[in-house]
Chains A and B, each alone.
Chain A
Amino acid sequence: MIGRRISQTRAWNAGRRWLCPYMSSAPCPIPAAAPTEECGRHFSSYAKAPFSLTNNPVNFYIPYVVQRCQFSSNAVADLPMEGTVDVPLAQTGEGIAECELLKWFVQEGDKVEEFQPLCEVQSDKATIEITSRYQGRVSHILHVPGSIVKVGETLVKMAVEETQVPSVIPNNLEKEKPVDAKLNKYSTGGVLSTPAVRSLAKEHDIDINDVQGSGKDGRVLKEDVLKYAMQKGVIKDPSVTATATATVGELLHGEESCSYGSAEVAGLYEDTIVPLRGFQRTMVKTMSMAAKVPHFHYVEEINCDALAELKASFQTNNTEPGIKFTFLPILIKSLSMALSKYPMMNSCFNEESLEVILRGSHNIGIAMATPYGLVVPNIKNVQSLSILEITKELSRLQQLALDNKLSPADISGGTITLSNIGAIGGKFGAPILNLPEVAIIAIGRIQKLPQFTDDGNVYPASIMTG
């Protein structure tokens, strides 16, 4: 089954779109210069000079680490419920120790969206826009334009709502120290946890230090507290996280008046609220966006006898012990060969400019279900890899995915996705595009099915639906 985005290329038009947010800042009192006649056009201009902020500074803290791409992430962390976060000047390149702050794009009190530019800094030869990791409100701007800010120093403080999580899968990165430091701050008596989890423990009269943490570095998670509480007999059903609203009394006695049952009894019949966090939250957003794209579905049954033979021959002629041969690497390589013939399927779509960018590398993403959620790491440059190399790389990514240790590079830069529904026993699925890719392939389980020859005889064949 192939889902594909239908698109058309369009020549760049001469219309201008103004994506520049910084124009909203107030100009400073230095007189604007009129350009000379030489350029033959009138551009109104404004002076680019330091301007002072008038609002009161506010302090917020965000654990903020700039990674290679915007889709990097910090370790799974339930950030403080009422977050005030420090936004430091993140590392903008090796060896750069400090930058000059050039201008702010926001003022104190401004609401800020994720990835919205906050300010512009200069280091050596480059001016760099610093964007916000989180959604929130600017509370305290700590430096004025013209000042030199050291890498790591706080630039601005922001108020962050609730548990804001990064765009993609949390994983362990070298740069996650700041986040860990934040968690340490909230641990008293040595147990790593967050205020939300601590208050949950308190609710159930549990000493959090008694709870065995299953998170990273022995961090105590919500599930740990609930499990502990269940073991202790404090609550019956560990999946209950919301307050009870249903009444058992009504059901048992048929009375109209509401009475609140005990947690034990109420746990059997009340609603359960499962707040979506992390992966699931991200998946809702990305899938909703993908669902808006017009999808074209094509399903076919494919005779895989030759494929089965090839796999069998790899296994018998296996020169590398410890390598398990499956169908997937062969399918991945076949896909790459097909992409060389049909490069339009290996492209990405730029919605703003209505352009299709034909990607040079075949970075084939493989959807993987892990205990942490669905991840799609990709194998880079499949066009240059042998099936053996693909097998090894696939195995490496699978292991990292299971350990929740995929790096940003592993999960970004994909050009097409392969989803193996067959691995979990399905025959065929209707996959959703992994934007901004234009095609996704779902392959089902290979089954032995009866086929007919032209003269009506039945023979068995390995059939896969895709």
Chain B
Amino acid sequence: MPIPQTRNIGLPMMNLLRFKGLPILQQLHIEEQLLRTSSENWCIINDGTNDPTIVMGVSGKPAELLEIESVLRDQVPVIRRFTGGGTVIVDCGTIFATFICNKEAVPDLQPYPRPIMSWSSLLYGKVFQGIGDFHLRENDYVFGNHKFGGNAQSITKSRWIHHTSFLWDFDVRNMTYLKLPKRAPEYRSARGHLDFICCMKDYMPRSTFINKTVEATGTQFSLRSYPLEAIETGSETEFYPSTRFLTDEELEAAAAAGQ
């Protein structure tokens, strides 16, 4: 463990995990496991995932959210994750950033969705200071009124997770797999995907974003890099994550049932 800088004394510890191209299912499994079984604070950054994958929230209904026919035809994998929130399609142009914290980790932070969302927006506010009119709009990170980052959370008895998928870049064709959701933020105003979202690449290079995020996190936590080998090999599978792929059969059944 590196010796902490003098200025870090007094800050709560946080482990930093940095991945590149880690499959999103694996990332979500790691996150769920750390949320439920670790008692430490974590920051996880995954610079792009491998294949385009659809990731739905815990209670998402495929028929409402996806163009199931195209999804099945093109064999796009669909994951149901353990946190709430909406549906995204992620690929190598998506940068993921996750915070997993004990309830007392951030002083005076109430462990509820809005306060945690606000806290995260202040942190990213530092990252995007002076750039592109960044702010938190309802539950999304926007430049102006275009969304470039979507959030989801899970709050347990003594911990919480807040994870974000940032659209550093995206393939316009992938968006066609997603329907316009029934529950949408007000500011979306019924805009289609392409009118509603934007890319971060127009504002900031990838590495700059990641470095600035780590830096901003370091102002509140004493970060220490965590060896990846310890995470990847440590899966003795006592823990069973709930995040999983939906099977073709499930998707077909959902399409048939119209739900």
Footprint of B on A, CB under 8 Å?
Answer: 11-12, 14-20, 23, 30, 33, 35-36, 38-46, 48, 68-69, 92-96, 100, 102, 115-117, 122-129, 131, 146, 343, 346, 348, 350, 352-353, 355, 357-361, 409, 413
B245 and A355 contact, CB distance less than 8 A: no
A115 with B80: in contact, given A39-B25, A361-B107 (CB under 8 Å)? no
Q: Of B77, B151, B235, which one neighbours A125 at CB under 8 angstroms?
A: B151
A413 and B157 contact, CB distance less than 8 A: no
A35 and B9 contact, CB distance less than 8 A: no
B107 and A128 contact, CB distance less than 8 A: no
B82 and A127 contact, CB distance less than 8 A: yes
A126 and B84 contact, CB distance less than 8 A: yes
Chosen A-B contacts, 19 in total, with CB atoms closer than 8 Å, are A14-B233, A20-B36, A35-B25, A35-B245, A36-B77, A42-B237, A69-B110, A122-B58, A123-B84, A124-B85, A125-B86, A129-B155, A343-B9, A346-B10, A348-B104, A355-B13, A355-B40, A358-B9, A359-B12
Instruction: Give chain A nearest CB distance to B165 CB in angstroms.
Output: 12
Q: Of B58, B117, B237, which one neighbours A43 at CB under 8 angstroms?
A: B237
A35 and B244 contact, CB distance less than 8 A: yes
A350 with B39: in contact, given A124-B113, A413-B107 (CB under 8 Å)? yes
Q: Determine whether B250 belongs to the interface, using a CB cutoff of 8 Å to chain A.
A: yes
7 closest A-B pairs (Cβ-Cβ)?
A126-B153, A14-B234, A125-B85, A126-B113, A360-B10, A93-B112, A122-B84
B37 and A127 contact, CB distance less than 8 A: no
B155 and A343 contact, CB distance less than 8 A: no
A16 and B33 contact, CB distance less than 8 A: yes
Q: Of B57, B116, B244, which one neighbours A33 at CB under 8 angstroms?
A: B244
Residues in B neighbouring A357, C-beta threshold 8 A: 12-13
B33 and A33 contact, CB distance less than 8 A: no
Instruction: Give chain A nearest CB distance to B229 CB in angstroms.
Output: 9
A124 with B84: in contact, given A16-B238, A95-B114, A117-B156 (CB under 8 Å)? yes
A19 and B37 contact, CB distance less than 8 A: yes
A43 with B240: in contact, given A12-B40, A93-B114, A124-B139 (CB under 8 Å)? yes
Overall SS of chain A's interface: loop
Q: Of B83, B115, B237, which one neighbours A127 at CB under 8 angstroms?
A: B83
B234 and A93 contact, CB distance less than 8 A: no
A123 with B157: in contact, given A48-B58, A360-B10, A413-B107 (CB under 8 Å)? no
Footprint of A on B, CB under 8 Å?
Answer: 1, 9-13, 15, 23, 25-26, 29, 33, 36-40, 50-51, 57-59, 77, 80, 82-86, 103-104, 107-108, 110-117, 139, 151-157, 230-231, 233-242, 244-247, 250
A68 and B110 contact, CB distance less than 8 A: yes
B156 and A12 contact, CB distance less than 8 A: no
- Considering the chains assembled together, what is the distance between the CA atoms of A43 and B103 in angstroms? 28
Instruction: Give chain B nearest CB distance to A65 CB in angstroms.
Output: 14
Residues in A neighbouring B11, C-beta threshold 8 A: 358, 360
Instruction: Give chain B nearest CB distance to A335 CB in angstroms.
Output: 15
- Considering the chains assembled together, what is the distance between the CA atoms of A350 and B38 in angstroms? 12
Which of B25, B50, B82, B157 has the most chain A CB atoms inside 10 A of its CB? B157
Instruction: Give chain B nearest CB distance to A399 CB in angstroms.
Output: 22
B37 and A128 contact, CB distance less than 8 A: no
Instruction: Give chain A nearest CB distance to B43 CB in angstroms.
Output: 14
A122 and B59 contact, CB distance less than 8 A: yes
A36 with B245: in contact, given A19-B36, A128-B155, A353-B39 (CB under 8 Å)? yes
- Considering the chains assembled together, what is the distance between the CA atoms of A353 and B38 in angstroms? 8
- Considering the chains assembled together, what is the distance between the CA atoms of A98 and B138 in angstroms? 16
Residues in A neighbouring B230, C-beta threshold 8 A: 14
B240 and A45 contact, CB distance less than 8 A: yes
With A43-B237, A48-B80, A123-B84 known, 4 other A-B pairs at CB within 8 A are A14-B230, A18-B239, A46-B242, A357-B13
B242 and A48 contact, CB distance less than 8 A: yes
Identify the closest chain A residue to B33 (Cβ). A16
B157 and A129 contact, CB distance less than 8 A: yes
A358 and B113 contact, CB distance less than 8 A: no
- Considering the chains assembled together, what is the distance between the CA atoms of A44 and B38 in angstroms? 20
A360 and B59 contact, CB distance less than 8 A: no
Instruction: Give chain A nearest CB distance to B35 CB in angstroms.
Output: 9
B114 and A127 contact, CB distance less than 8 A: no
- Considering the chains assembled together, what is the distance between the CA atoms of A347 and B85 in angstroms? 36
A127 with B242: in contact, given A19-B36, A102-B58, A353-B39 (CB under 8 Å)? no
B80 and A39 contact, CB distance less than 8 A: no
B84 and A12 contact, CB distance less than 8 A: no
A46 and B240 contact, CB distance less than 8 A: yes
- Considering the chains assembled together, what is the distance between the CA atoms of A373 and B237 in angstroms? 48
Residues in A neighbouring B15, C-beta threshold 8 A: 12
Instruction: Give chain B nearest CB distance to A134 CB in angstroms.
Output: 15
B84 and A343 contact, CB distance less than 8 A: no
Which of A11, A126, A343 has the most chain B CB atoms inside 10 A of its CB? A126
- Considering the chains assembled together, what is the distance between the CA atoms of A199 and B15 in angstroms? 57
